[in-house]
Structure 1
Amino acid sequence: MEDPRETTASTTPQPDMTRNRLPTLFEVLSRRTLPPVDLFSFYIYMRDQQRSVDYLDFWLDVAQHMSLCRHYVRELRRSVLIATPDLEKGSKRSSQILELGELDNRAAGPSMYATEKERDQDAQMSAFLREDQSHESPQTQSGSNRTKPSPPFSHATDSNSPAHTVARQDIRASAEKILYTFLMPGAEREITLPGSITQDVTAAIEEYGRDDPEVFDVAKDYVFQAMERDAFPGFLRMKALGNLIPPTLVMRLIIGLVAMFGAFWTSFVLIFLDKSRATRCWVILPFTIGVYFLASYEYSLDPILALIGFSEYTPFNFSRIREPFVRGLLVKRALMVLAVTILIDAGLCVLFILVPGKRL
């Protein structure tokens, strides 16, 4: 499985810097967001928190398969344009390829498209790939007027050709890899899908020899909706409303409770030993540590780290907050948490410093 930070298309989609809201799951998967709500952070969240990274890997592999198909069709179209500039009328395959037009270099998503044009392009591409599958040899065409395509056309399925980096065999291998890795019963990384979906995909690939992207549409939509419903809300709460991860939060809870115990114990000892108020000012230190760490645990947010623009993605590893809306949201929450911390800390310190001492 390739690093999810790598693009699935030849050009990386540009993040939307003017977005004045939290991103959607589709925007995250399409690499249109920045840390801490980018695809890499979501991948880490699915791996470490949800323990269901296989679903995301399946979605990414299907997206990669879609990009592979686009690349194959694009190269095939270019070879036809070079080989047959006058568009041979006898070549049905040539006309089908040319009808696709230039495919967009966008990230592959579920069965949702921004425009009708995108939907039509992918439908045409899948239809062409199914038609192309029936031509076992590009050298042979049915009909009385058999025309032999020019050499660049025949090289379209040659993976060793320097002009073509994707062969039809590569597409077939990609589809089978997805099937045998994620969908077959007992697969290495089997994901849980309704039995009807798994059976339909298996039959389409193994019995009918399909490898076009549409064969995975239903499974991909199901996985997308499952992630959107079960994982994505928790991801946004953790990364857009906080900047700490659960292991760190547990550690802060323990440190905070220990610091508060030490602060209360020290305060009572100093009071009952009738120490001066100047001496009792030392309790400010444990009270401040305890309140700060407990507030960080309660709000899943380290306010100082948020104000300087950092978010934690693995224990003690931090990335800079680059998503503008999330940065502003975390700064507001950080100021609120700091205000709560200061008020509680000040109240406790004033109480235990100014209370009259009494030696027992």
Structure 2
Amino acid sequence: MTTEYQPVPIRDRLPTLFEVLSRRTTAPVDLFSFYIYMRDQQRSVDYLDFWLDVSQHMSLCRHYVRELRRSVLVETPELEKAGSKRSSQVLENLQDIRDAAGPSNYTEQRSQDARLSAFLRSESGSKHSPSNSHGSQGSGTTTGTELPPRPSFMTGNSNSPAQASQSPAHTVARADIRASAEKILYTYLLPGAEREIILPQSILDDIVQAVERQGRDDPEVFDPAKDYVFQAMERDAFPGFLRAKALGNIVPPSMMLRLILGMLSLFGAFWAAFVLIFLNYSRATRCWLILPFTLGVYLLASHQYMLDPLAALAGLSEYTFFDFYRIREPFVRRLLSKRALMCLGWVTAIDAALLCLFIFVPGKRL
């Protein structure tokens, strides 16, 4: 069963965080790479998981409303005629809203979220729920086409709940929405939670008051926290992600290895060069210095530019240590190719200068 993705637009610029979270980008600036970056380098993947879980909660609510609307339409085939129930009229006025993964401060989505939340609050006391609901199943009961990528999706587990829930028999009950809201609260927000994230106390108090005391589970409850987390990621994490993935193609462990090997190679090159000079070896023999000098300069330049030039020209990028994948974002590939050519130019110039110095200098046996 295939998963539907939003069409990837052709852009002549770097993507925004909104586009990355909406899965409108491709490698190496896609959501998968951003998740790996937040986990391995930024060490703040809990914030991204919170944002994805809140988006998944919104998808759960949309799925519930669509199922409820379909069930009401089946039960009231003459819905257009007078005499239909108030809830049916409200559902008829609720058009299918788009599933977007963007921040809730976008005007259009804010309006859609507000209508959905208002309906859920007004419907909370009613008994309208799809008749074949399986009860509280948590956030895993939404359809796979609506869910942001979770770790189970990223690892390609075909048995994940998100994929299994695409069967028509798996519907959403109101208890599922309540369980999803409580899971977000108890996992990320309460003091001492398993994956507690830091939020302003005023935002945290409002969410606790709404969920625990007012019994609310509509997605509008989490809007302030969702916006705060989005802005924090956009300000603190996303610029570093673009530098690492759009201006470079290697990860920090690989950079450190290149620095160590480059220093060792240059040390060996200088040591061999002075030995060959002071033992008065011929210039033809000293030409072999091209190997350690070139390797050392190349590795140090790779560390300095956070870029493997040859891999970039081949269209490859590293997202975990020595695990390369193909660059599919056209603008990023052009940008990396230009930086790779510039890096190779510096490598060639420095290498040529060092070789000329140690090859053509007169030898003298001590």
The two structures have a TM-score, normalised by structure 1, of 0.89
Is the Cα contact below 8 Å between 2:76 and 2:84 reproduced in 1?
Answer: no
The CA RMSD measured in Å over matched residues stands at 1.8
Equivalent of 2:75 in 83, 93, 107? 83
Is the Cα contact below 8 Å between 1:66 and 1:108 reproduced in 2?
Answer: no
Measure, in 2, the Cα distance between the counterparts of 1:157 and 1:223: 33
**Residue 120 of structure 1, CA deviation:** 2.9
Equivalent of 1:180 in 181, 186, 197? 186
Match of 1:111 in 2: 104
Match of 2:93 in 1: 99
Letter of the 2:101 partner, please give it.
A
- Is residue 155 of structure 1 aligned with residue 131 of structure 2? yes
Say which SS state the counterpart of residue 131 (structure 2) adopts: helix
Letter of the 2:195 partner, please give it.
R
Alignment of 1:300-315 (within 5 A): 300-315=306-321
Equivalent of 2:240 in 207, 214, 234? 234
Is the Cα contact below 8 Å between 2:278 and 2:364 reproduced in 1?
Answer: yes
Measure, in 2, the Cα distance between the counterparts of 1:107 and 1:319: 27
Measure, in 1, the Cα distance between the counterparts of 2:277 and 2:310: 32
The two structures have a TM-score, normalised by structure 2, of 0.87
- Is residue 19 of structure 1 aligned with residue 11 of structure 2? yes
Is the Cα contact below 8 Å between 2:8 and 2:26 reproduced in 1?
Answer: yes
Match of 2:160 in 1: none
- Is residue 330 of structure 1 aligned with residue 336 of structure 2? yes
**Residue 15 of structure 1, CA deviation:** 1.6
Is the Cα contact below 8 Å between 1:79 and 1:156 reproduced in 2?
Answer: no
Deviations 1:287-329 (A, max 9, x none): 0000000000000000000000111111011111001110110
- Is residue 132 of structure 1 aligned with residue 137 of structure 2? no
Letter of the 1:73 partner, please give it.
V
Measure, in 2, the Cα distance between the counterparts of 1:197 and 1:112: 15
331-340 vs 94-103, which deviates more?
94-103
**Residue 134 of structure 1, CA deviation:** 2.5
Measure, in 2, the Cα distance between the counterparts of 1:293 and 1:121: 52
Letter of the 1:53 partner, please give it.
V
Match of 1:4 in 2: none
Say which SS state the counterpart of residue 311 (structure 1) adopts: strand
**Residue 256 of structure 1, CA deviation:** 0.5
Measure, in 2, the Cα distance between the counterparts of 1:319 and 1:158: 40
Alignment CA distance shift 1:270-1:76 (3 Å): same
Match of 1:195 in 2: 201
Alignment of 1:176-325 (within 5 A): 176-325=182-331
Gaps of 5+ in 2: 137-166
Deviations 1:16-58 (A, max 9, x none): 2x11100000110111100000001000000010110000000
Match of 2:163 in 1: none
**Residue 206 of structure 1, CA deviation:** 0.5
Is the Cα contact below 8 Å between 2:132 and 2:171 reproduced in 1?
Answer: no
Say which SS state the counterpart of residue 325 (structure 2) adopts: strand
